[in-house]
Amino acid sequence: MSLLPSLRFPGALGALLALVACQAGSVTSVVPAPASSAAHAGAPAASSGVANVDAAVNQSVNFADWGISGGFSAMPLTQLLALHPQLASYQQAFVHAAAQASPAIPPQLLVAICLQESSGGLDLSGYGGPFQFSDDSAWAAYGPPGADRNDMASAAIGAANYIAAELKAKKGDLNAALRAYNGPIANGGKPTYQAEIQRWMQGELVYGAGA
């Protein structure tokens, strides 16, 4: 999958630039951008996605309303973070990471992945930091350029970008996207991974309370 976005120019400007580039021998074709597009089937527009992220801070989330299938839902972000004080100071980091992803995703999902992967940054015995980016190529592809995967804010951006890319590839199927994040079961992935992500987001799993 190419990680470089296509460059597109609208209208007459695009035609002029294409003509100049072709004459210079540097462009073989110019593909016009579609009038409108969705990140995946049923997904909200980018601007509404950011608004949804802001609303998720104090409101419960039904993932279907974001065009994300799999039957997932979450309590308000503030309530979820109140259950996990080790992550409370990172609220804005989760909101920013979720909003900058394309498509935007509920920030509660990032909190749940962080809890599942490293108990919210408390268990960093693994190599990959709070979101367990143990694969160098994945971190290079999805993490902020030059950032440290052990930094919570940077790692949240990397995880959000990874999940968003998988949602695009899997047509909005969060179960499939999470399986890709955790890895195939045959290769050591956890069979209950998706169910536990849901339980974290519902407050059914709490670190230090038998989680």
pLDDT for 2-55, tens place per residue?
333 333 334 443 443 333 333 333 332 222 232 233 333 344 444 567 889 999
Report whether pLDDT(145) > 50: yes
Cβ(41)–Cβ(169) below 8 Å: no
Distance CA 129, CA 123 (A): 9
Task: Give the residue-averaged pLDDT of 131-143.
Answer: 94
What pLDDT does residue 48 have?
A: 64
What pLDDT does residue 68 have?
A: 97
Give residue limits of the domains in the chain.
Answer: 1-35, 46-202
CA distances to 137, 138, 171, 174, 210 from 106, in Å: 25, 21, 17, 12, 25
Q: What is the pLDDT of residues 89-135, one digit of tens each?
A: 999 999 999 999 999 999 999 999 999 999 998 887 667 999 999 88
Take residue 200 and report the two structure tokens written for it: 């974290």
Please give the share of the chain, as a percent, with pLDDT higher than 70.
74
What pLDDT does residue 40 have?
A: 39
Report whether pLDDT(69) > 80: yes
State which fold the 46-202 domain adopts: Lysozyme (1.10.530)
What pLDDT does residue 207 have?
A: 79
